[in-house]
Amino acid sequence: MLCSVVILAAGQGKRMQSKKSKVLHTLANRSFIEHVTLTAQQLNPNKLIVIHGHLGEQVQEALSSYKITWAEQMPPQGTGHAVQQALPHLAETGVTVILYGDVPLITLDTLKKMVEKAEKNSLVLLTEIMNDPTGYGRVLRNNQNNVIGIIEHKDATEEQRKIAEVNTGMMAVPTTWLHKYLPYLNNNNVQKEYYLTDLIKMVVDEGNSVDTLFPQYSWEVTGVNDRLQQAELEREYQKYQAENLMRLGVSLRDPSRFDLRGSLECDQDVEIDVNCIFEGSVKLGANVKIGPYCFIRNAEIAANTCIEPYSHIDGAKIGENGKIGPFSRLRPGTILAEHVHVGNFVELKNSQVDAYSKANHLSYLGDASIGKRVNIGAGTITCNYDGVNKHKTIIEDDVFIGSSTQLVAPLTLKKGVTVAAGTTVWKDVHDENALILNVKEQRSRLSWLRPCKSEGK
Ligand code: UD1
Ligand code: CA
């Protein structure tokens, strides 16, 4: 059946205290409205309409990569008035799902259930029981427990305010009813707004059916109005993601100190210590161990590799049985084969390292291609940048680089070459197994006196 989605996003959102549109604030690194849009897209709607108003250009720009029909509501005069702006874009048949741009975490499961029920010619309200329903529209029912309307908090009597079942705002409606009834909304209420919720009574009064549904999780219907609510919802979402991963067999040392801002795929027996952040798309192979305080973005880490504490990994691919960190930094374009060791204060950028090679301490390896079984001594620097261009360093298999070495790119070191400690290498070495060193002199000055402090200091 034909399905359309309308996302309301024309409200002001003053309580965020921001120059940015409320719906562009984020949860797990993704804007509220993008969460809603991505979920709504999975319903395969024939149209996805966003009602924009205040700071609408910002929202349009942020969602420019999505296929959206935009409808402007200026000035906003209530939720009913908002949906009226969508009417010219809605087909005559099928079901329309109404969502809020500031209620980011509605799930596809719940939406599917709503649509299924609505397709049986029923208006389906997503409702929720709340301990403190203050501020929300209350669901009115008759003696047979059938829904007969919604009364907004501000318009409700003391008796009605005791009702704990509230309107979450989200609903699925046979589209014909929107065309039929919405033009007749009025604003005879305390707020002088056109209430979408008045639709319910109109539908019921003509003998049509209204159903309700509870969401599976309460966070699905939680809206964000200020930064405190934003942080609270972020925590709830993180807890949910952490619990899902644990159910799938991932060990989290402390699920309350775990952040996933994207997707994380794990093979069996992965262990993640506290305070790690995962962003973008991350894949971890079997038995991978992530130490505490690691930041990992857009990375693939193969089986049995261990990431020691405080490592920063971004855009890297790491082979099996590797050992990275503590305090390693792998930047985009880093590709490590199996059994590679990268130690503390080693930075790699756009560099490939083949199997069994090691860079254990204090190095910068940029735009380098490093062979098998290479040893990179402490303090090795690839001088890859001449101030304008970046140049490549090629280090073949079995090269040994002594400590405190500068490799001035472009540079090639042939197989088996040894570079003595403290050498600056600025010419290609074509002889396999050669020893490379700079001619320097070491002197001793016997007459030299070390300065000494005067007494009392
Ligand atoms: C609305 C419902 C109320 C429900 C509550 C749940 C109505 C009349 N009331 O309350 O029953 O309990 O949501 O949160 O529908 N918006 C527009 N244009 C407007 C007004 C609002 O696009 O003219 C958008 C807002 O950006 C927001 C959503 O609609 O995303 C809800 O608006 P808000 O003012 O928060 O809801 P209420 O009207 O207070
Ligand atoms: Ca309002």
What would the pLDDT profile of 364-395 be if each residue is shown by its tens digit? 999 999 999 999 999 999 999 999 999 999 99
The verdict on the CB of residue 166 being under 6 Å from ligand 1 is yes
- 373 DSSP β-pair partners: none
Q: How far is the CA of 166 from the centre of ligand 1 (A)?
A: 13
Long-range contacts of 214-220 (CB under 8 A, 24+ apart): 214/126, 214/127, 214/128, 214/129, 215/106, 215/107, 215/110, 215/126, 215/128, 215/168, 216/107, 216/109, 216/110, 217/105, 217/107, 218/128, 219/105, 220/103, 220/105, 220/106, 220/107, 220/110
Residue 451, number of CB atoms within 10 A of its CB: 4
| Per-residue pLDDT at 314 exceeds 80 | yes
The verdict on the CB of residue 264 being under 6 Å from ligand 1 is no
The verdict on the CB of residue 84 being under 6 Å from ligand 1 is no
Rounded-to-integer distance, Cα 276 and Cα 312, Å: 10
Q: Does 81 qualify as catalytic in the annotation?
A: no
Q: How far is the CA of 79 from the centre of ligand 1 (A)?
A: 5
Contact status, residue 173 vs residue 96, Cβ threshold 8 Å: yes
pLDDT digits (tens, 9 = 90+) for 185-219: 999 999 999 999 999 999 999 999 999 999 999 99
Looking at residues 332-343, what average pLDDT do you find?
99
Question: Percent helix, strand and coil across the chain, each rounded to 5?
Answer: 20, 35, 45
The verdict on the CB of residue 149 being under 6 Å from ligand 1 is no
Q: What percent of the chain has pLDDT over 90?
A: 98
Rounded-to-integer distance, Cα 80 and Cα 10, Å: 12
pLDDT score for 269:
98
pLDDT digits (tens, 9 = 90+) for 391-438: 999 999 999 999 999 999 999 999 999 999 999 999 999 999 999 999
The verdict on the CB of residue 8 being under 6 Å from ligand 1 is yes
Which ligand has the shortest distance to the CA of 100? 1
Looking at residues 30-59, what average pLDDT do you find?
97
CB half-sphere exposure, 220, CA atoms < 13 A: 18
Looking at residues 317-325, what average pLDDT do you find?
98
Residues with Cβ within 8 Å of 88's Cβ and at least 6 positions away in sequence, in order, are 71
Q: Where are the alpha helices (DSSP H) in 321-412?
A: none
Q: Annotated catalytic residue: which of 89, 153, 179, 361?
A: 361
Nearest to 336 by CA among 357, 318, 361, 320: 318
Q: How far is the CA of 20 from the centre of ligand 2 (A)?
A: 19
Rounded-to-integer distance, Cα 196 and Cα 99, Å: 12
pLDDT score for 11:
87
Q: Where are the alpha helices (DSSP H) in 87-170?
A: 108-118, 158-161
pTM for the model: 0.95
Tokens standing for 457?
A: 């200091």
Rounded-to-integer distance, Cα 385 and Cα 389, Å: 6
| Per-residue pLDDT at 457 exceeds 80 | no
Rounded-to-integer distance, Cα 295 and Cα 297, Å: 7
pLDDT score for 135:
96
- From the alpha carbon of 167, which atom of ligand 1 is closest? 12
Indicate the residue type of 144.
Q
Looking at residues 19-37, what average pLDDT do you find?
97
Looking at residues 355-362, what average pLDDT do you find?
98
3-state DSSP assignment of residue 92: coil
Rounded-to-integer distance, Cα 165 and Cα 200, Å: 15
- From the alpha carbon of 198, which atom of ligand 1 is closest? 8
- 96 DSSP β-pair partners: 4, 173
**pLDDT band at residue 12, thresholds of 50, 70 and 90?**
confident
Which ligand has the shortest distance to the CA of 77? 1
pLDDT score for 152:
98
Q: Name residue, tokens 């204060």.
A: 345
The 8-class DSSP code of residue 429 comes to B
Looking at residues 139-153, what average pLDDT do you find?
98
pLDDT score for 151:
98
pLDDT score for 454:
87
Residue 28, number of CB atoms within 10 A of its CB: 17
Contact status, residue 354 vs residue 376, Cβ threshold 8 Å: no
Handedness of CA 119, 125, 126, 128 (dihedral sign): negative
pLDDT score for 13:
87
The verdict on the CB of residue 79 being under 6 Å from ligand 1 is yes
Specify the residue with its C-alpha closest to ligand 1, atom 34: 11
Q: Which residues of 81-100 are buried (b: 16+ CB within 10 A; e: fewer)?
A: bbbbbbbeebeeebbbbbbb
Looking at residues 122-131, what average pLDDT do you find?
98
Looking at residues 39-50, what average pLDDT do you find?
98
Contact status, residue 63 vs residue 20, Cβ threshold 8 Å: no
- CA 408, distance to chain mean position in Å, is 39
- CA 269, distance to chain mean position in Å, is 24
pLDDT score for 455:
81
**pLDDT band at residue 166, thresholds of 50, 70 and 90?**
very high
Which ligand has the shortest distance to the CA of 11? 1
